[in-house]
Structure 1
Amino acid sequence: MSERTGVALDLEALRSFMVVAQLGSFAAAAEHRHRTVSALSMQIKRLEERLDSRLLVRGSRGVTPSPAGELLLGEARELLRQHDGLVARLTGKGLSGRVRFGMPEGYAPHLVEQVLPDFVAAHPNVLLEAVTAPSGELANRLERGELSLAVALDRPHSLAGGTPLWQSAPVWAASREFVIDPIAPLPLALHPLHCPFRSLGIEALEEMGREWSAVFTSTSIHTLEKAVEVGLAISILDRQRLTPAMRMLTPEDGLPALAGSEARLYFSRRVGAASWPAVEALAELLRQRLEGVGPWPARRSGAVYPR
């Protein structure tokens, strides 16, 4: 009987490919992997030769996976997860390191409930530090190396790439009794700068020439919601956050339609190599739980929202 032969993939080359694809930079990936850029490039080149496919595409904003690379990226995550889990079970050595995770406050309760406890239970030796902030501020913290990874909406910041998770649904929200004065400036309850919904709302109002005034500003989403419920102002909220005391305003109320926004998973380029496996483990759990569906339980049950 002849021995069966085939293509054998180098696991370390797969790890290098994943880091390059996720960070969008050979230089940043080389720092994580404790290799030179040329050594990393050689690993990727050999991987491409074995698979007879181009895996990465260089562009003006960095490196992105090709269609074949996207396919390999998903399969490689699962392959390495199973490999690393097997090694951990056999050796008794689990993941360690430090993971600093950022998330927008409006989605934090759902992420904390649905994702973080399972991660902590599965990896007790990993130090997890979680913070909440507007998406623009999370992007700034990622770039400064203060966070390992973050879930953030895809604006108002200049971060490239990111893994798409779910589509947000921003709407104008008012109390049930709120009456819009068509002449007076529109009273708004807003987050400070760096909030994507603030940017969406103000851009839409200024495009239609509607005057507005920030009569209430807070960093707390719950405080903004209370300002809406008592009729102090209107705001821009994710549709899933509307309460029975609120109604959704539409163009029929004289307000402009709002563009959508996408929640994405972004990696820092300054994660220490020792912590990278733990960072990737949390990222994989977030992808498994949130891709395509988001964090809202109601989104899976077909709930009806107040208008």
Structure 2
Amino acid sequence: MSETSSGTLDLESLRSFLVVAQLGTLAAAAEQRHRTVSAISMQIKRLEERLATRLLIRGARGMTPTPAGEALLREARALLGQHDRLLARFTGQGLSGRVRFGMPEDFARELVGQILPEFLARHPDVLLETVTATSGALAKRLERGELTLAVLLDRPYRLEGGEALWRTSPVWAAAREYVLDPEQPLPLGLHPVDCPYRAIGLEALEAEGRSWYAVFTSTSVNALETAVESGLAIGVLDRERLTPAMRELGPADGLPALTGAEVRLHLGQRMSAASKPAVEALAALLHERLYQRGLWRERGAAR
């Protein structure tokens, strides 16, 4: 029996398409959607047949949308969001209240691109206020009661409690053609003082007595990545953020190995009773999507 009729698009197939486009593999999408890989594959195939166009292609970094797929992504997010908001209002399943959520800027693209819109689609009456800052700054804001929920690293300012989600993989990043001079101080691109990766990199350098100076400092991860790609600076980035214009440096290049940090989910201690169910619902969704997996799936996983 066909999963779709001749005149409609199947909403569950659209949801599967969004998840495959986000995670990059059928296996990862199947795990998240609690379906088999073959079921996800069949949904994508039928969606492509219904629209008479190729939506996804396989490449070195997994499955990525075609131009038609990119156009469908935008329309599908809007359609599914409207559907879920309508359903929540009429079934009374939506929550209300206020959630003040904090996250490092490094995580914004993945969280804002998928998880937060999904949460608001489920609960359109929730007032969500989202801010980005360094993990140290977010931890202090959480302690002051300015945030009700935060995803942050346990460096350089560790909060008690919280739930471990995943461990990061920081590496030294340089432009692909960058030539390191071991006789000169290391030119670094850095985030502000409260940044975990800044702390990780500087502690490793100081432990070995390696001299350095900040040639570029910015709160923007995109600006820092540009400084690395251009050869202006060496930075400390998560390995998954390396671009084709960068290469990883390490002990073979005379730089110390870096230790990872733990990403933790923290609930604020001060929130209204009316907002607590919404805060806990977002925390549960973040746990479901991120626990032991992080923001990025391994693109080379089996499909």
How many angstroms apart in 1 are the aligned matches of 2:298 and 2:211?
37
> SS where residue 141 of structure 1 aligns?
helix
How many angstroms apart in 2 are the aligned matches of 1:180 and 1:285?
43
Retained in 2: the 8 A contact 1:162–1:267? yes
Which residue pairs with 2:17 in the alignment?
A: none
Deviations 1:169-210 (A, max 9, x none): 000000011111111110000001110000000000000000
Is 1:301 matched with 2:299? yes
How many angstroms apart in 1 are the aligned matches of 2:273 and 2:218?
37
Write out aligned runs for 1:68-83 (5 A): none
How many angstroms apart in 2 are the aligned matches of 1:102 and 1:92?
27
Paired letter, 2:163: T
How many angstroms apart in 1 are the aligned matches of 2:202 and 2:168?
17
Number of aligned positions between the proteins? 214
Which residue pairs with 2:218 in the alignment?
A: 218
> SS where residue 131 of structure 1 aligns?
strand
Which residue pairs with 1:276 in the alignment?
A: 276
Is 1:208 matched with 2:193? no
How many angstroms apart in 2 are the aligned matches of 1:173 and 1:258?
12
Deviations 1:257-279 (A, max 9, x none): 00111111011111111100000
The 1:89/1:302 distance shift into structure 2, 3 A limit, reads same
Is 1:158 matched with 2:158? yes
Which residue pairs with 1:169 in the alignment?
A: 169
The 1:245/1:270 distance shift into structure 2, 3 A limit, reads same
> SS where residue 215 of structure 2 aligns?
strand
How many angstroms apart in 1 are the aligned matches of 2:183 and 2:90?
71
Gaps of 5+ in 2: 1-87
Give TM-score, length-normalised by structure 1. 0.67
Which residue pairs with 2:192 in the alignment?
A: 192
Gaps of 5+ in 1: 1-87
How many angstroms apart in 2 are the aligned matches of 1:231 and 1:271?
46
Which residue pairs with 2:142 in the alignment?
A: 142
Write out aligned runs for 1:29-68 (5 A): none
How many angstroms apart in 1 are the aligned matches of 2:183 and 2:191?
24
How many angstroms apart in 2 are the aligned matches of 1:92 and 1:231?
54
How many angstroms apart in 1 are the aligned matches of 2:209 and 2:92?
64
How many angstroms apart in 1 are the aligned matches of 2:129 and 2:90?
28
Is 1:291 matched with 2:291? yes
Which residue pairs with 1:114 in the alignment?
A: 114
> SS where residue 301 of structure 1 aligns?
coil
How many angstroms apart in 2 are the aligned matches of 1:270 and 1:116?
22
Write out aligned runs for 1:92-111 (5 A): 92=92, 94-111=94-111
Retained in 2: the 8 A contact 1:293–1:300? no
Deviations 1:228-251 (A, max 9, x none): 000001000000000000000010
Give TM-score, length-normalised by structure 2. 0.68
How many angstroms apart in 2 are the aligned matches of 1:300 and 1:246?
19
Which residue pairs with 2:232 in the alignment?
A: 232
> SS where residue 300 of structure 1 aligns?
coil
The 1:179/1:300 distance shift into structure 2, 3 A limit, reads closer
Instruction: Kindly state the Cα deviation for residue 90 of structure 1 after the two structures are TM-superposed.
Output: 10
The 1:178/1:90 distance shift into structure 2, 3 A limit, reads closer
How many angstroms apart in 2 are the aligned matches of 1:275 and 1:114?
22
How many angstroms apart in 1 are the aligned matches of 2:299 and 2:108?
20
Paired letter, 1:294: G
Paired letter, 1:124: P
How many angstroms apart in 2 are the aligned matches of 1:91 and 1:192?
46
Which residue pairs with 1:183 in the alignment?
A: 183
Aligned residues: CA RMSD: 1.6
Paired letter, 1:267: L
Q: Which has the higher Rg, Structure 1 or Structure 2? A: 1
How many angstroms apart in 2 are the aligned matches of 1:225 and 1:129?
27
Instruction: Kindly state the Cα deviation for residue 154 of structure 1 after the two structures are TM-superposed.
Output: 1.0
Paired letter, 1:242: L
